[in-house]
Structure 1
Amino acid sequence: MKKTNVSIVTLAIFMTTFMTAIEGTIVSTAMPTIVSDLNGLEIMNWVVSIFLFMTAVSTPLYGKLADSIGRKPVFLFGIALFVIGSALCGQAHNMLELILFRVIQGLGSGAVQPVAMTIIADLYTLKKRTKMLGLNSGFWGVASVIAPLLGGFIVQNLSWHWVFYINVPIGLVAFLLVIFFLHESKTKTSSKLDIKGTCWLIVLLLSLMYVLQELGSLNWLLTALLLLLIIVSAIAFYHVERNAEDPIMPLSMLKGKEFLAVNLITLFIAGVVIGFEFYIPTWMQGIKGTSATVAGFAVTPSSVMWVVGSFLIGGLLSRFGVKKTFFGMLTVLIVADCFLLIVPLHTPFWVFCLIATMNGFAFGAILTASQVRSQILVAPENVGVATSFNTLMRYLGQTMMVSIYGITFNTIVAQQLAKHPQLTQGMMNKIVSSVKAKELAANLVPQLRQVLFSALKGVYVVSMVAIVISLLINFSYQRRQKN
């Protein structure tokens, strides 16, 4: 059998990372323009959450398939689906079409991201793995530096539809590299997929994430029925997995206290990440009146320092251990979030760059550490499942937090608009875009910005709660270890 060309396959993995990273940052940069163009401020969180929703639901299945039938076919399928979804998103002419096509993109992402990390675990020893994951994060950082400039250029000179098209050539090249240079033995750990477990897990995740997404907008009867479905599907999933010959998600993983703790922390901190990266560009355009390009650059220091945090986390873990390192990084996040809560309406741009620097370092350290630890703490035959579970926690956390952020944001906006009868939701749709804001009456702009300012402050109160919960999880894990 031919040998895998490690260097070229690693390059392909980095390309898929770049592809998914640049897509995320460009969409955040273009979101105010998309909202203004499609008049969808009330449902703009669906553009992000549906992508996270489908990624999270499909991730466990892809992880098990990667362990069962091999990494290559699953990885190729994910890349192809992501490219198709990107091309379709570029064709969207209304918000509903965009949301629908993001479903396809999310299903592709569910395979691309976790399986790429699993392949890195296969190709490199533990000593080199952390460095390679850090380097992989480096491509995320490079993409995040380029994306705001490119996204701003596209939005201002072409059409926001083009922010999706750029994924197509990158994905096609990566697809071809994987086809020709990744070779693996055709081992199969199971001749029978855990169909029952898969079905119950999908039902559980779909119902859970739908409740999280629509939290606050469902009537009590539907909410009660969905909660009942969540309980029933969780019990059924547990029963099926406990007796399954080859479960899609071995429950033995969750018995490890460290494994459970780092993944719960991942769930909450991933939500904090999405809150920072999604709403800061809106803050920059809506309140400071910057261009889409400058708004995107407000989060660039976070991306750069994410790389630094990823590279340094190996040494921090060796010197201080997992729990002390997490405590230190979570403390950094609390300080950064405090800045967001206390800054006034007119705050210099460099302050946001400082906040982004602190956040990025802590984000990179925490999420890279949780990924590596998740792979280490399970048996080799479950590395794919463990990696996918860690990815699931990221997307579940982001979906949960995007929903809570959206409810908080929309509630505060509605409350503030009720106090100012001269302001409308249509005006709010325009104020979030520095270009569309010019169409508003000058005397109304300060009031609209104050409404937006109050809503954004509410978002970062939610972030603070998530960080504090993460600290409590880390603390409780420490206490259990001593007993």
Structure 2
Amino acid sequence: MVKRNLALATVALLIANFMGGLDATIVNTALPAIMSDLNGIRLVGWISSAFLLGTAVTTVLWGRVAENFGNKRIFQFSVALFILSSLLGGLATNMIMLIIARALMGIGAGGMVSIPFIIYADIYPNPAERARALGWVTAFYTLSTVVGPLIGGWLVDVLSWHWVFLINLPIGIISMLLLQVTYHDPVKTTAKQPFDYLGAGLLSAALIILLFASDGLAVSMTRSLVLLGIGLLVLVAFFMVEKQSNHALLPLELLKNPRVQVQNVMMFLINGFMIGYSVYAPMWAQGLLGKSATLGGLTQIASSILLLVGTRLTAHLMGNLSYKKIVFFGTLSVLISALAMTLATKTAPYWWLIVSGGFEGLGMGLAFTPMQVSLQDGVQRELISVSTTFGLLFRTLGQTFMASIFGAVLSLRTATQAAATNGKITTGMINKLSDANTAQQLPTSLLPAMRTMLFNSLHTIMLISLGLVIISFILNLVRKAPVKQPR
């Protein structure tokens, strides 16, 4: 591949990555306005979790489909689905319509996010060059998360939250067209492999049932436990099918590599904390501190900038330190962030949120790249594609399930506290409190009590997040690093 086309193809993939990062920060910034406008505190968790579920369910599937139909074609199809469903989200008039749009966006994002990593492994066979390319991936993602809160806050304050979805259309079209003229899939010398439809169906069903189980915590513990049991049984059936399949969606030799899979568990856990911070820090700033949507979004700025710093630093450290040691410093930084959010009081200053986000971003920047390279270099060549997408699946699952659980915790804690006021304070009033603009319509005398209720709910979320990070930190201390496989 000539250098010019290599650079332009990389830019095309980076633009898609930029769009994915932009979507995350913009939507998180707009959540309080959406919750207030559509009266959606009960379903607010689904705005994130429906998107992440679509991504999680399809991440591995996109990689397998691309093996038969080509990475380029499937990547472009996934981007097209993402921008069309963004249009649907921009036109949404109720929570159900918006959640459906977010699920479709997540399905598109599953391919839009995972397939580029497979293409990078193809066009950058040298690990050092690939690490630099992955550094640019994080840089573009970070850039999107820096400008995302600014753009999102401005769109919400000046126009409306609908525009945080419509902005995806021109960006996605540019990415598709640029890749079309610069990148060509390598000619495959092997026949198409049968697709594991049964395995794909069982995995999708298990993840969907488990997500409903986590969301059901806000309604009925019994229903949640029943769904959890059913989901686990379907997951067991999935592994039994994969064990017998000659063309398994997830080959058992990959699942039997504990040195690789412990990293996936760690990424699940720290990404669970990351979604907790990125979704609820803006709500904390607006609901508790009375800041605007723009300032709520700016809580993510330090996280975004230091994510870039951590990633660029990692590219230099990987030649001098072991991957495990770099991940140690990364998880330690995330642990400091989680402790800061847990120790924050109701009257904690605005800068406290920003500093906490800085440690979170630095830690994620240090931890992600070495673990991502290890997931690829620690398996045989024929497993690189599925190991890559499986790793991305675990990252997404961490965000998916924790977004749903956090949403259920927020809803349950808020409803319980509101019920204790005998109708004096309602969940609808908490909806309005979460958006600084609509909070002005609330009785001034009730604001302290409502902010206490919101703080109690957010504090519970941060306590759960801290537990996740502690477990990840300990796992990194006791694990053995993957062994690099010959190429």
TM bucket (normalised to shorter chain) is: over 0.9
The aligned residue for residue 214 of structure 1 is: 216
Query: Any idea what the Cα deviations from partners look like across 1:161-215, whole Å, max 9, x if unmatched?
Result: 1111110001011111122211122415533212222222222222223323333
Query: Any idea what the Cα deviations from partners look like across 1:66-119, whole Å, max 9, x if unmatched?
Result: 234321111111111001111111110111110111121111001000101111
Q: Quick check: 1:370–1:390 contact (8 Å CA) kept in 2?
A: no
Within-5 A mapping of 1:51-450 = 51-124=51-124, 125-187=126-188, 188=190, 190-218=192-220, 220=222, 223-224=225-226, 226-421=227-422, 422-450=424-452
Report the residue type matching 1:267 in the other structure: F
Task: Return the alpha-carbon distance in structure 2 between the equivalents of residues 171 and 374 of structure 1.
Answer: 28
Report the residue type matching 1:285 in the other structure: Q
Report the residue type matching 1:76 in the other structure: Q
Distance 1:479-1:308 versus aligned 2 partners, 3 A rule: closer
The aligned residue for residue 31 of structure 2 is: 31
Distance 1:461-1:219 versus aligned 2 partners, 3 A rule: closer
SS across alignment from 2:265: helix
SS across alignment from 1:299: helix
Root-mean-square deviation (CA), in Å?
2.2
Query: Any idea what the Cα deviations from partners look like across 1:268-304, whole Å, max 9, x if unmatched?
Result: 1111110000000000111111110111011111011
The match for 1:470 among 461, 468, 472 is 472
SS across alignment from 1:127: helix
Report the residue type matching 1:15 in the other structure: I
Report the residue type matching 2:49 in the other structure: S
Q: Quick check: 2:270–2:334 contact (8 Å CA) kept in 1?
A: no
Q: Quick check: 1:49–1:213 contact (8 Å CA) kept in 2?
A: no
SS across alignment from 2:249: coil
Query: Any idea what the Cα deviations from partners look like across 1:19-38, whole Å, max 9, x if unmatched?
Result: 11111111111111111111
Task: Return the alpha-carbon distance in structure 2 between the equivalents of residues 309 and 190 of structure 1.
Answer: 40
Query: Any idea what the Cα deviations from partners look like across 1:237-279, whole Å, max 9, x if unmatched?
Result: 2232223222211111122222111110001111111000000
SS across alignment from 2:237: helix
The aligned residue for residue 458 of structure 1 is: 460
Task: Return the alpha-carbon distance in structure 2 between the equivalents of residues 263 and 407 of structure 1.
Answer: 25
Report the residue type matching 1:280 in the other structure: A
Which stretches in structure 2 are left out of the alignment for 5+ residues? none
Task: Return the alpha-carbon distance in structure 2 between the equivalents of residues 202 and 411 of structure 1.
Answer: 27
Identity %: 34
SS across alignment from 2:217: coil
Distance 1:479-1:182 versus aligned 2 partners, 3 A rule: closer
Task: Return the alpha-carbon distance in structure 2 between the equivalents of residues 479 and 161 of structure 1.
Answer: 45
Of 102-111 and 69-78, the range deviating more from structure 2: 69-78
Of 195-204 and 370-379, the range deviating more from structure 2: 195-204
Task: Return the alpha-carbon distance in structure 2 between the equivalents of residues 78 and 186 of structure 1.
Answer: 21
Distance 1:418-1:210 versus aligned 2 partners, 3 A rule: closer
Equivalent residues, number:
480
Query: Any idea what the Cα deviations from partners look like across 1:298-347, whole Å, max 9, x if unmatched?
Result: 11110111111112224444444233333332222222222222223222
**Structure 1 residue 2: Cα displacement:** 9.6
Report the residue type matching 2:333 in the other structure: V
Task: Return the alpha-carbon distance in structure 2 between the equivalents of residues 338 and 430 of structure 1.
Answer: 29
Task: Return the alpha-carbon distance in structure 2 between the equivalents of residues 335 and 145 of structure 1.
Answer: 21
Distance 1:344-1:198 versus aligned 2 partners, 3 A rule: closer
Q: Quick check: 2:300–2:357 contact (8 Å CA) kept in 1?
A: yes
Q: Quick check: 1:4–1:183 contact (8 Å CA) kept in 2?
A: no
Task: Return the alpha-carbon distance in structure 2 between the equivalents of residues 203 and 442 of structure 1.
Answer: 47
**Structure 1 residue 235: Cα displacement:** 3.0
Distance 1:379-1:190 versus aligned 2 partners, 3 A rule: farther
Task: Return the alpha-carbon distance in structure 2 between the equivalents of residues 376 and 393 of structure 1.
Answer: 18
Distance 1:299-1:231 versus aligned 2 partners, 3 A rule: closer
Task: Return the alpha-carbon distance in structure 2 between the equivalents of residues 220 and 356 of structure 1.
Answer: 36
Which stretches in structure 1 are left out of the alignment for 5+ residues? none
**TM-score normalized by the length of structure 2:** 0.93
Q: Quick check: 2:138–2:311 contact (8 Å CA) kept in 1?
A: yes
Task: Return the alpha-carbon distance in structure 2 between the equivalents of residues 161 and 13 of structure 1.
Answer: 26
Runs of 4+ in 1 over 4 A off after TM superposition: 1-4, 478-481
SS across alignment from 1:190: coil
Report the residue type matching 2:208 in the other structure: L
Distance 1:430-1:228 versus aligned 2 partners, 3 A rule: closer
Task: Return the alpha-carbon distance in structure 1 between the equivalents of residues 18 and 175 of structure 2.
Answer: 11
SS across alignment from 1:42: coil
**Structure 1 residue 478: Cα displacement:** 4.6
SS across alignment from 2:247: coil
Q: Quick check: 1:130–1:311 contact (8 Å CA) kept in 2?
A: no
SS across alignment from 1:423: coil
Of 226-235 and 159-168, the range deviating more from structure 2: 226-235
**Structure 1 residue 3: Cα displacement:** 9.6
SS across alignment from 2:445: coil
